[in-house]
Amino acid sequence: MKIHHLNCMSFRRFAVLEVTHVLLLETQDGLILIDSGLGLGDFSQPGWAEWLVLQLDGIAATPAETPIRQIAALGFDPRDVHDIVPTHLHLDHIGGACDFPWAKIHVWEAEIQAGLRPAGWLGTFSYFPARWKNHPGLTSYSMGKERWFELEAIPVIERADVEIWLVPLVGHSPGACGVAIKGKNGWLWHCGDAYVRQIQVDPFKPGNAFPWLTRGLEDSMFPVTAREKIRKILAVHGDQIEAMCSHDPEFFLHSKNSSHIPTPFAGSPPVDL
């Protein structure tokens, strides 16, 4: 199994250019997307609210960043994308799934329910259920008794060369999950928007994502519970797990070399920021 690192939506936060880090898994049984950035429809037919959000985010994305365009540019057939596992259903994580109507989308039921009835301003301007609620492949999972390390979790894909779990990291959204991917020698854990900079989940010396923000303000913007959950797991199992998030530009650039990732996660085409 090979992992390709894609940036599927550039945008600006506090004047800094950020990325939306999507993983394309090249497995023996086809392609799997972890998150999906924006889709072609978000550019060609945005609803008024989507348009407004994209303008307010100072969006710097282009249709060339959509996964379907990048997958074709890499020489793959987009029809080989059989599965999509989003960390949550906010637009910048599920929009691209609309371009793969034949794929199965694996989602924890709590996130589907939250997305169908958006609450508060963050929900209203982050979920656009019309984009995904009628997707033929949308598949809902309820929580069972399984555990991923010490955490309750849902196994969603098991193939010869890859295993994928949804691990709830509630906070940024009511059904947000980290997507844990197992290769031959270790785990890569895509934690979506549970945090925004690697320093926040350092198990021993955590720091602020934005040093000029007070800790209190930062914690109110990026909920702390999920981050603490991640730090605790990394403190004990950090030798087996690499955690990552969606919007850290430095980590994305680092990932393109793949040198930091356990050996099974080899290969990564360059993606220009």
Task: List contacts with Zn ion (CB under 5 A).
Answer: 92, 193, 246
Read off φ and ψ for residue 70, nearest 5 degrees: -70, -35
* Cβ 193 to Zn ion shortest distance, Å: 4
- Amino acid (one-letter) located at 241: I
d(CA 217, CA 184): 40
Distances (CA, A) of 53 to 41, 50, 75: 15, 5, 32
> Which stretch of DSSP H or E encloses residue 48?
helix 48-56
Residue 21 or 182: the one with the smaller Cβ distance to Zn ion is: 21
Q: Alpha-carbon distance 195 to 209, whole Å?
A: 8
Nearer to Zn ion, 99 or 193 (CB): 193
User: Tokens at residue 150, please?
Assistant: 């010490």
Kindly state the smallest distance separating residue 172's Cβ from Zn ion, in Å.
Answer: 8
Question: Are 246 and 193 in contact, with CB atoms under 8 Å apart?
Answer: yes
Least CB distance to Zn ion at residue 247 (A): 6
Residue closer to Zn ion (CB basis): 246 or 255: 246
Report the nearest approach of Zn ion to the CB of residue 91 (Å).
8
**Residue whose CB is less far from Zn ion, 70 or 246:** 246
Query: Which of 92/248 has CB closer to Zn ion?
Result: 92
The smaller minimum CB distance to Zn ion, of residues 246 and 268, is found at 246
Instruction: Work out how close the CB of 37 gets to Zn ion at its nearest, in angstroms, rounded to a whole number.
Output: 9
* C-alpha span between 3 and 15 (Å, rounded): 30
- If the CB atoms of residues 42 and 193 are measured against Zn ion, the closer one turns out to be 193
CB 88, min distance to Zn ion, A: 8
Residue 39 tokens read as 């889709």
Q: Are strands 16-18 and 11-13 parallel, antiparallel or unpaired?
A: antiparallel
Are the beta carbons of 187 and 233 closer than 8 angstroms? no
The CB-of-162 to Zn ion minimum distance in angstroms stands at: 24
- Whole-angstrom Cα distance, residue 181 to residue 148? 11
Nearest of 36, 37, 32 to residue 18 by alpha carbon = 37
